[in-house]
Structure formats: structure tokens, C-alpha cells
Amino acid sequence: MSEPLPGHALVISPAEMAGRTGRYEKALSELEGLFADGEAYAARLAREGDRVIYHVDEFRPSDAAGDLITGISTLSPGRVGAEFHMTRGHIHARQDRAEIYHCLSGHGLMLMETLDGQTVVTELRPGVVAYVPPVHIHRSVNVGDTDLVTLFCYPADAGQDYGIIARSGGMRHRVVADGDGWRLEENSGYVPR
Ligand code: NI
């Protein structure tokens, strides 16, 4: 009998992401233009410097069709003006590729949008698995006061198109503070696609 081979394991621990093949970070300066309140954004940049807002650790075995990319996204809590910290957001370059996000800790939203401007929201709390259907723009928003940590998984040939959000002047809705909760607000700069 031949010896079994060790399988690959991605160790889910914010302190030690063993098994990852890559990591990227997004700093405040790379999120310029995302937030409505430009003055609040400039003030935070001046006060805090170019701090990291979120980072992603991933295991990407290949980019081949049929393979899977798995990873952990960690989005810090905070606001720029009334708006909560968010990821840049994207649609998959191959738009028909779906994705799941499993919330491990924190409190957030999976903010989604169809091409014709229909907003879809799934609230993320530990244990929730958010399904991002094919052809949905998606972004994470941290509406809590601790890190929003999610495990994601999507087809390895999906790719990301970030420009679709910029071309429309943002997503149709912004997520803003409302008392100690959140609400959606129409994005006045939104251009229907
Ligand atoms: Ni995605």
C-alpha cells in the first residue's frame, strides 16, 4: 500500500496564516475616492498616516478553471465621516463566477449590486455564509467595532474587475452610521450603467 500524501491545509488564525500562497494589504491611501466625505478622508490620512484598512491572505493553488481560491479577509473597524470601512469591491472578470463568504468574527455586510442597479444585502455575523450569486458586484462593509473576518472561496479563473464600480461613481448605496446601527443611503454620484 502506498503512503497517503499530506493534503494542503490553510490554517485559519489571524495570528498565523500557515499555508497561504499570497497576501495583500490595502492602505487608506489606496481607498481614495471611495468615501463621500473627502474632508474626513483627508483628515484621517493626515492624523493616522497611511495605515492598513484591510488585508487578505489566500491559498491560490493555480488560476485554472475548476480550481478554487480560498482565503481570509480581515477588515478593520472604523468610519470615514458617516461611512463605515469597506473593501474596494469588484465584479468577477468572468462575471458568471459565484463566491461564498463565511463570517468568522465581527459584524458586517456583504453589499451586492446587480448590473441594473438592484442592491442586495446580507448581514454578516459569525456563522453566516453569504452567497454572492453570479454577475453581482460585491464589497464587504464593517459596521461593527471589531475586525470583520471572513473566509471566502471562489473559482480560480474568476478574476476581478474593480473598474466597474469606479465607472458608475461608486455602488448605488452607501452604508452610513445611524445611531449605533447602520442604514443604506442613496449614492448621489451614482451613474446607472
Ligand atoms: Ni469576489
Ligand 1 centroid to residue 113 C-alpha, Å: 12
Buried residues in 164-180 as b, exposed as e (16+ CB within 10 A):
bbeebebbbbbbbeeee
- CA 43–ligand 1 middle distance (angstroms): 30
Using CA atoms, how far residue 115 sits from 109, 164, 192, in Å, is: 19, 9, 9
pLDDT tens for 59-114 read 999 999 999 999 999 999 999 999 999 999 999 999 999 999 999 999 999 999 99
- CA–CA dist 84, 142 (Å, integer): 6
Tell me the average pLDDT of the chain: 94
33-58 residue pLDDT tens: 999 999 999 999 999 988 999 999 99
Query: Domain-by-domain residue ranges, the chain?
Result: 6-186
- C-alpha 90 – ligand 1 centre gap (Å): 6
> What topology does CATH give the domain 6-186?
Jelly Rolls (2.60.120)
Grid cell locating 46: 493626515
Cα(99) to centroid(ligand 1), Å: 6
